[in-house]
Amino acid sequence: MKKTRTITAAAAGVLALALSACSSGAGGSADISAKPDFSGSLSILTAGAGDPMSSYFENLVKDYQKLHPGVKVTLAQETDDNAIKDKEKVLIGSQSLPDIYFSYAGNWGENFAVNGLAADLSSVIAPGTNWGDTFGEGSLNAFKYDGKFYGVPLYVDAKFMGYNKKIFSDLGLSVPKTLSQLVSDCSTIKAAGYTPIAFGNKDGWPGLHYLGQLFAYDVPQKTLQADLLPKTAKYTDPGYLEGMKQFQQLVTACTGDGSNSNGVTYTTAQQQQATGKAAMYYQELIEFDSVNTKDSELAKDGFGVFALPAADGAAGDTSTLEAAPEGYMINKKSKNAALALDFLKFATSEKNATTLSAAPYGQPSAVKGVVTEQIASSAVAEGTKLVGDAKSTVVWLDTANVPSVGDAWVAASEGLVSGSLSPEDALKSVRQASEKSK
């Protein structure tokens, strides 16, 4: 189970047109303060298709209907990759978004909020409200736009380097503290017959995740934030070129397929880690339980995690972590908004949040205090704590940017891996995309 947040340039244009059409014709507003109609109907679109998450949402719906037998629920599920974005673009274009739908944080969620497609939930979920106080404030703020709160964070996510403890121990390696140490360790690992870092960039996002974290290390935070907005973006900081050079160094020195990694799927990389053939894999927190399964070689060898280390002398914030919650919004035009709100409160109850965080799902709930080693795997609990302890976080590079710029970064990731783009050319292409989006 994994996500890709990529979006093609053509699709970005479709999204912009659809949003514009919906915004110009927006009318009516969801009434979340009304009494829920438990004889009504709900339509829900998740990003949980596939094992094991599809069964979680199916069971969630069944349990809700046991409490409220008169409620009819239509559940549609897409994979948390291009499929969910493509589906939502189609639904936006036909003005048929369901009552409840999945959203990423960052610019993707902002598009729904500012174009009149998401209900303002501030009165019930803002910090200081009874429901809002059950979530971490950082998770709520990820869906805050123009001072209002539009999303219900379901789970938190972040990027970590997962590693095989036995391989590291057998080779006398410790967790690397710097990027140069990581690269040096890759030579030792490769000489021992293992793939140092499993890497498959066929969908573009795996490389993008490296870049997002490296840029956070190499570019001052204020500059990075300014460059996310086309009206203030310049993309002139030398840290971008440094980050891309570091990424290319990792691809060359540490991955098994190198410049051919664009032809390798992320699932292949997962399998290399799970079967003990790769010493490391740069993965999301929500992937931990998918690769570190009970009977896997990785589980036998021991699974550990650490943040991708920064280079010596990095000019950005070396304590930051690439992380973001993911969640759900209520259609602003929904006639069943109060019922939708009731369902989302049910979905984020302590009981259901605990189930979500535990095996086999391993999706760390955004509800405070739920994720512990008593209910979640030790790796998920550790990763969740690291997210909570992070002094600052950055959202995924493509969802933080406007779609056309996010697409340019995906293309840059692929070009840097294959060698068809130099860091200078890659940055130029992103700068041009940003200029065109102003």
Q: Was domain 159-321+397-436 assigned CATH 3.40.50.1860?
A: no
Residue 267 CA to residue 203 CA, distance in Å, equals 11
- Strand order through the sheet with 41-46: 72-77, 41-46, 100-104, 326-330, 152-155
Whether residue 201 has pLDDT greater than 50: yes
Residue 300 CA to residue 304 CA, distance in Å, equals 12
Percent of the chain predicted with pLDDT > 90: 81
Residue 230 CA to residue 434 CA, distance in Å, equals 5
Residue 111 CA to residue 101 CA, distance in Å, equals 13
- The pLDDT tens digits of the residues spanning 272-302 come to 999 999 999 999 998 999 899 989 999 999 9
Percent of the chain predicted with pLDDT > 70: 94
0.85 surpassed by pTM: no
User: Could you tell me the sign of the dihedral formed by the alpha carbons of 416, 421, 427, 433, in that order?
Assistant: negative
- How far out from the chain centre does Cα 410 lie? 15
Confidence label for 109 from pLDDT (cuts 50, 70 and 90): very high
- How far out from the chain centre does Cα 349 lie? 22
- The pLDDT tens digits of the residues spanning 338-378 come to 999 999 999 999 999 999 999 889 999 999 999 999 999 99
Contacts of 315 (CB under 8 A, 6+ apart): 218, 219, 220, 239
Token output for 253: 């020195």
Neighbours of 80 (CB within 10 A): 23
Whether residue 380 has pLDDT greater than 70: yes
Token output for 340: 């939708």
| Complete DSSP assignment for 165-191 | HHHHHHTT----SSHHHHHHHHHHHHH
According to DSSP, the residues that pair with 77 across neighbouring strands are: 46
Which pLDDT does position 107 carry in this prediction?
Answer: 86
In contact, 118 and 112? CB cutoff 8 Å: yes
Work out the average pLDDT over 75-100: 91
Confidence label for 26 from pLDDT (cuts 50, 70 and 90): very low
Three-class secondary structure of residue 228 per DSSP: coil
Residues of the chain with CATH 3.40.190.10: 9-157+324-370, 159-321+397-436
Tokens 């094992």, residue located: 51
- The pLDDT tens digits of the residues spanning 304-348 come to 999 999 999 999 999 999 999 999 999 999 999 999 999 999 999
Residue 1 CA to residue 19 CA, distance in Å, equals 29
Token output for 370: 């739920």
Residue 101 CA to residue 341 CA, distance in Å, equals 12
Q: What is the 3-state secondary structure (H, E, C) of 22-70?
A: HHHCCCCCCCCCCCCCCCCEEEEEECCCCCCHHHHHHHHHHHHHHHCCC
Q: CA nearest 216: which of 158, 174, 258?
A: 158
Which pLDDT does position 13 carry in this prediction?
Answer: 44
Average pLDDT, the chain: 91
Three-class secondary structure of residue 127 per DSSP: strand
Beta strands in 119-217 (DSSP E): 144-145, 148-149, 152-155, 159-164, 195-198
Pick the CATH number of 9-157+324-370 from 3.90.180.10, 3.10.180.10, 3.30.565.10, 3.40.190.10: 3.40.190.10
Work out the average pLDDT over 421-437: 97
SS3 content of the chain, % helix, strand, coil (to 5): 50, 15, 35
Token output for 138: 């950082």
